[in-house]
Every structure is written in C-alpha cells, then in structure tokens.
Homo-oligomer: A and B are copies of this chain.
C-alpha cells in the first residue's frame, strides 16, 4: 500500500543501473527478467506484455510477473489507450503522456511539459493533481474532427440528421 518508496526519480539510464536497483532491493536477476529489461531498453515505444512474451519466447505469466516487479520498483510503468491491453515501458525511456483518437486510433506522444499548463489549470480550478500517464487522454484528433465537420455540412445522404 505504501507508494513506491524510492527509485522514483533516479536516472536508471541503462541495463546495468536497472540491475543494480534490483540487487539493492533483494530481487534476483534471472534470465527472463534480464531479457524483459533488455527488450524494454531496446524499444522506443511501450509494448504489450503479450508482444514481449512472444518476442522473447517467454511464458506470458512470467512476463507479467516480471513487469509487476519492475513496476513496483519504479523502473517500469504502463499506459492504456482506451480499453486495450496495457503497454509497458521503462520509466527512464518513456515519460510521455498520450493522446488517443477514439475514431481513427491514432496515438500521439507528448512530452510531460506539454500538458503542464493543463495540469496547472485543473489544479487551480479543482485542487486535484491529475496524471495522464496511466490512461491516455481520449478524444478526437484534429483530422477526424475535420472529417466529421465536413461530412456534417455535406448534403445529407441517408436519413437526415441536422443541427437544429
């Protein structure tokens, strides 16, 4: 229940440092665990557990268990785009927040500062500290909004649906 004791903002820039964190916390460095870590250090985007398991030839269960440990130590995190499976990444490699378009499925990664003004606005309006790191911001991207707009003002083809 205690919230991630330490390791929160340590750099952990490479595999060696990650393994050191593991040792310090008394966790072992098994082959599968190292493989998961290497795969994450080798990817520039968050990956689903299933893809890690398939790609590394590991049992899915084991991947989940390792990700859980790494997440508990603050080395790994995961995001959800809509309802789909969690996507896992190294905290050190992916501090992005995501914009997800519910219409076309497009995903846009944002540097954390990009949403700072938004977070501040919410904090001053409501007193809450929000995080967009666990669930992506969902909505409609500019392109889809345009498309909908165009379709809307086009001559109604089927049963009419007009703005009043």
Contact = CB atoms under 8 A, between A and B. Distances in A.
Interface of A: 3, 5-6, 99, 101-103, 108, 110, 114, 117-118, 121-122, 125-131, 134-135, 137-142, 145, 148, 159, 161
Nearest to A99: B128
A121 B125 CA distance: 13
A128 B139 contact: yes
10 contacts: A3-B148, A6-B161, A99-B126, A101-B128, A102-B131, A108-B126, A118-B122, A128-B139, A128-B140, A131-B139
A67 to B, nearest CB: 16
Contacts of A3: 103, 148
Contact of A137 (B117, B130, B139, B145): B130
Given A5-B161, A135-B135, A161-B5, A141 B128 contact: yes
A114 B118 contact: no
Contacts of A122: 118, 137
Contacts of A141: 127-128
A86 to B, nearest CB: 10
B127 A117 contact: no
A128 B108 CA distance: 10
